[in-house]
């Protein structure tokens, strides 16, 4: 048997309070089917059957922690437009507060529209700004975290390179967390990759790590380990968790642990990384060691990949997967 009560641990996530700070997105899905090619240009014509709006980016991370029962505070920036209104409506439906959204009329709300036919992606259209936010926005975001800090159990930083997470704001966030003895878990992107020094858990994917180090890293255990050691010299995190697609997850803490990918049917990998960072944060806040947290996060990602589109992990699916594969 696995040396801890899995179901009770996952149920304990519902007692936690998590702040998610990062790039919030609105995901629009247009579903239909292709039966002809346009006579105007040689492109497929999608006959639309239905549309769907979902929370993306940092908001999808928040969906995952919220779905597992944790009280979740989503902090980020939006425009002042109809897409912000759509986000607010989705927040209300899913039980998230809009109180921690800072609006900036100079930028659009980040929105990604995906067009699918028979569950296959045809194209994606993005509305976004990648310019860094102003010092005023930085102060507002840091102020919100400062007000919440004493009630939190962990902080997640979710970076999609949309301009919110400047090096200045990153240092403020980590400083506030350190002052309040809060673990900080980071899902980075390339631009500010090395600005997260001293965080608790740093979770790049293999491609992000290789690109940022300027290396060609083949997806073998030995090459990944060598790259992790180079990264740890620069980032000095308590733990590294590197997601490796079909090869699973590698953890560097006291030593290396390689966790095979979950052996579950894959329909769509969208949002899997969001699930991993969310579950890692919950496990860390609940007092689990990083390897155990990563094993649970790995299975959580496997369960969400069974659905099309970015969806949050479901407690019952995660408990079932853990009981089947960790006991």
Q: Among all residues, which ones are annotated catalytic?
A: 274
Q: Are 117 and 56 in contact (CB under 8 A)?
A: no
Nearest Cα neighbor of 215 from 234, 198, 199, 200 is 234
Q: Please name the residues in contact with 319: beta carbons below 8 A apart, sequence gap of 6 or more.
A: 6, 7, 10
DSSP 229-276: HHHHHHH--SEEEEE-GGG-EEEESSSEEEEPPP-S--S--TTHHHHH
Q: How many helices (H) and strands (E) does the chain have?
A: 10, 13
Question: Residue 290 corresponds to which tokens in the numbers above?
Answer: 């990083």
- Cα-based distances in Å from 135 to 95, 100, 142, 158, 316: 30, 17, 10, 19, 43
CA 292 to mean position of chain CA atoms: 19
- 77 beta partners: 102
Q: Where are the beta strands (DSSP E) in the chain?
A: 17-22, 24-37, 44-57, 71-78, 101-103, 111-117, 120-127, 154-158, 184-187, 201-202, 239-243, 249-252, 256-259
d(CA 211, CA 217): 9
d(CA 188, CA 250): 16
Q: What angle do CA 174, 180, 185 make, to 5 degrees?
A: 40
d(CA 221, CA 250): 8
* Residue appearing with tokens 């995660």: 318
């Amino acid at each position: 048997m696995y040396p801890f009560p899995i179901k009770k641990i996952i149920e304990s996530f519902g007692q936690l309070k998590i702040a998610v700070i990062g790039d919030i997105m609105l995901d629009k899905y247009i579903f239909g089917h292709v039966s002809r090619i346009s006579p105007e240009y040689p492109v497929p014509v999608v006959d639309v059957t239905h549309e769907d709006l979902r929370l993306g980016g940092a908001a999808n991370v928040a969906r995952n922690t919220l779905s597992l029962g944790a009280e979740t505070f989503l902090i980020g920036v939006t425009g002042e437009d109809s897409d912000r209104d759509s986000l607010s409506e989705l927040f209300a439906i899913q039980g998230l507060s809009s109180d921690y959204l800072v609006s900036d009329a100079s930028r659009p709300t980040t929105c990604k529209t995906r067009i699918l036919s028979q569950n296959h992606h045809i194209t994606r259209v993005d509305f976004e700004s990648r310019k860094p936010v102003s010092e005023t926005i930085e102060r507002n975001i840091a102020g919100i975290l400062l007000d919440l800090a004493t009630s939190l159990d962990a902080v997640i930083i979710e970076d999609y390179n949309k301009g919110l997470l400047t090096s200045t704001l990153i240092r403020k966030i980590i400083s506030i967390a350190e002052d309040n003895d809060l673990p900080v878990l980071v899902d980075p992107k390339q631009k500010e990759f090395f600005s997260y020094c001293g965080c608790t858990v740093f979770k790049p994917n293999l491609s992000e790590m290789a690109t940022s180090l300027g290396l060609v890293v083949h997806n073998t255990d030995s090459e990944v380990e060598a790259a992790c050691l180079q990264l740890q010299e620069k980032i000095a995190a308590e733990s590294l968790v590197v997601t490796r697609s079909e090869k699973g997850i590698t953890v560097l803490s006291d030593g290396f642990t390689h966790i095979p990918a979950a052996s579950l049917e894959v329909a769509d990998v969208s949002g899997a990384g969001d699930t991993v960072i969310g579950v890692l944060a919950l496990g860390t806040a609940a007092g689990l060691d990083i390897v155990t947290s990563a094993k649970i996060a790995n299975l959580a990602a496997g369960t969400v990949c069974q659905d099309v589109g970015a969806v949050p992990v479901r407690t019952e699916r995660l408990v079932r997967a853990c009981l089947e594969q960790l006991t």
